[in-house]
Structure 1
Amino acid sequence: MIYIIIPVHNRKAYTQQCLASLYRQTYAYFTVVVVDDGSTDGTSAMIQAEFPEVVVLSGTGSLWWAGATNLGIQYALDRMPADADAFVLTLNDDTQVPPDYLTSLVHAWQNHKPCVVGSISVNIHQPDQLLYAGTRLNWFTARFTDLARTTYRNQLSQLKATNQHAIDSDSLPGRGMLIHRSVISTVGLFDAHHFPQYLADLDFSIRARRAGFPLWVSVNSLVYEHTETTGLSMDRARSWRSFWDSLFSVRSPVQLRIRYHFARLHAPNVPLFLMADLGRILGGYLVRRLRR
């Protein structure tokens, strides 16, 4: 049984499309758990009307991604059979998946267990644009190498040409992460206290890897992403004020608080990691400003 956990907040149309894709799956043994964290756009009503089999849990709008995901995971843990393989799949509402998605994830897990399985992702508007295919982490230079870009030049066709079935990775994103119950029993839930919105997925996957669960990206498990829905994009040049605000916003992946906690919890040399990390953030911003 797979419990698919989807946190949502005021993105009814995306949620509807995501759920529709899940109910076209060839794999039948799954339950969808949507955690509606204070939506005001009728998301829960839409789900009740169109997808009555979906379990809807409610939040007040203060859970953020990690808290909402944990609420769904706890619901699943309380109902998982003790004598069978059971999984949690974390997924975002701004995604869609092909009919063989769940089947391919379970197949990848069976081939590499015990492990955690992630998904490759592409731009839903440009399906050959590869967005994710694994990462490499350098703890001394604070560099997160994106294999989709450096190895496959952001081309799905180039990845497929390698005939690989799985790619080992140093971390995994929460968008399409298949987690066996044994992993959660060993490493715990997502760290919603230190990483409410960003980096909770990286932190969890790194903890799982260090606990003895390798991380594999299943090449046959494809997620289509709506890239336009990302919270505060760091890929475009913005005003100094906007950049400054992003350093303190919970909606930003470069918030100083979460970068500090990530370094403190994982980096072998915290000051060195922080200097390199913040230098890369500031340098990247300056380069984007100069290119305008």
Structure 2
Amino acid sequence: MQTYIIIPVHNRKTLTLACLANLKTNGYLPKYHVIVVDDGSNDGTTEEVHEVYPEVIVLKGDGNLWWTGAIALGMQYAYEQGATHFIWLNDDCLTTPETLDLLIDFLQSNPNSIVGASCYAEDSGLLIETGVKGRVRIKALEHEVADVDGLSGYCVAMPVSIFKKIGLPDARKFRQYAGDGMYTLKAARAGFKVCILGKAKVTLVEEKDPIHNFSNYLQKKNNRNFKSIFWDYKSPYHLPTQFYYHTYKYGTLIGFPLFTAKLLSWLVRFYG
């Protein structure tokens, strides 16, 4: 069995090194292959990873991969090396000593599955909703396995058979946001089981913007011009991404009117 952990990074050297230190402490560096996909960092991330963790594979991007492109590059490389399983891991997520083994063990028993870890916020200790079923956001308690049709990409494991059947995540339509959820939804529609394993846990150490509430997101933004909110890949409200998301998830007949209604609502609040 060849498991590859894929960690997309950009200019977060401290978080990246802490993530790798956590994997080493938990015994995962010698056990699994680790790929850091450094998408154009200029803070010395690649150099420090090479120096401190020479066993870690570093793939380089030019700053245009974003999250989804970095994940896709890592998956393609791992597949070419003979990977049997992939694990997506964000560098702001710290695992317990059991987390990744629990995910892989689950896949051994449920081979036609994608499985995500449950995610807890470091500051509050609260369990975060990392799955979606329809339009309802889902989380899994410690004793639960929650079935979903889409997963956030904090810590997600899958067998190579998914790659062989549906290919790579779509880095053209979903560069930064929704690449994880749309890929796992595509897998669900292709017949794979998608779920959250409650007893597999990660801690989220980086505070996230409240991206599921437009008004709260606006309040958090220092630069509130139209381009930064609606035409920047860093924004969860990037309009082309939102359009592709709604029309893929709900179909054109429902998705386009739903996208239009949401856009009008966002514009009213943006200019209000």
What is the TM-score normalised by the length of structure 1?
0.82
Maintained 8 Å contact 1:94/1:229: no
1:202 aligns with 2:181: yes
1:177 aligns with 2:172: no
Maintained 8 Å contact 1:132/1:147: yes
SS class of match (1:218): strand
CA distance in 2, matches of 1:29, 1:279: 49
SS class of match (1:39): coil
- Structure-to-structure mapping, 1:103-142, within 5 angstroms: 103-127=101-125, 129-137=126-134
Change (3 A) 1:58 1:230: farther
Deviations 1:138-185 (A, max 9, x none): xxxxxx31124xxx8xxxxxx33xx32x11011011221111000000
CA distance in 2, matches of 1:63, 1:79: 21
CA distance in 2, matches of 1:124, 1:285: 33
CA distance in 1, matches of 2:14, 2:79: 29
Unmatched runs of 5 consecutive residues or more in structure 2: none
SS class of match (2:25): coil
How far residue 273 of structure 1 moved from its aligned partner, in angstroms, is 2.4
CA distance in 2, matches of 1:205, 1:216: 10
Change (3 A) 1:126 1:282: farther
How far residue 9 of structure 1 moved from its aligned partner, in angstroms, is 0.7
1:252 is aligned to: 235
CA distance in 1, matches of 2:101, 2:172: 33
CA distance in 1, matches of 2:270, 2:136: 19
Unmatched runs of 5 consecutive residues or more in structure 1: 138-143, 153-158
Maintained 8 Å contact 2:243/2:256: yes
CA distance in 2, matches of 1:224, 1:289: 37
Change (3 A) 1:13 1:248: same
Quick one: percent identity of the two aligned structures? 30
CA distance in 2, matches of 1:89, 1:274: 33
How far residue 263 of structure 1 moved from its aligned partner, in angstroms, is 2.7
How far residue 64 of structure 1 moved from its aligned partner, in angstroms, is 0.9
Change (3 A) 1:123 1:284: farther
1:276 is aligned to: 258
Maintained 8 Å contact 2:248/2:255: no
Maintained 8 Å contact 2:37/2:60: yes
1:19 aligns with 2:16: no
How far residue 187 of structure 1 moved from its aligned partner, in angstroms, is 0.3
Maintained 8 Å contact 2:13/2:45: yes
How far residue 53 of structure 1 moved from its aligned partner, in angstroms, is 0.7
CA distance in 2, matches of 1:121, 1:289: 35
SS class of match (2:34): strand
CA distance in 1, matches of 2:165, 2:171: 17
1:29 aligns with 2:8: no
Q: Between Structure 1 and Structure 2, how many residues are aligned? A: 266
SS class of match (1:23): helix
Maintained 8 Å contact 1:117/1:178: yes
CA distance in 2, matches of 1:231, 1:42: 29
CA distance in 2, matches of 1:240, 1:229: 15
- Structure-to-structure mapping, 1:200-279, within 5 angstroms: 200-228=179-207, 230=209, 234=214, 235-238=216-219, 242=224, 244-245=226-227, 246-268=229-251, 270-279=252-261
Maintained 8 Å contact 1:136/1:170: yes
CA distance in 2, matches of 1:249, 1:271: 26
1:42 aligns with 2:33: no
1:140 is aligned to: none
How far residue 286 of structure 1 moved from its aligned partner, in angstroms, is 6.7
Change (3 A) 1:50 1:260: same
CA distance in 2, matches of 1:227, 1:278: 32
How far residue 276 of structure 1 moved from its aligned partner, in angstroms, is 2.8
Give the aligned residue type for 1:5: I
CA distance in 1, matches of 2:156, 2:79: 16
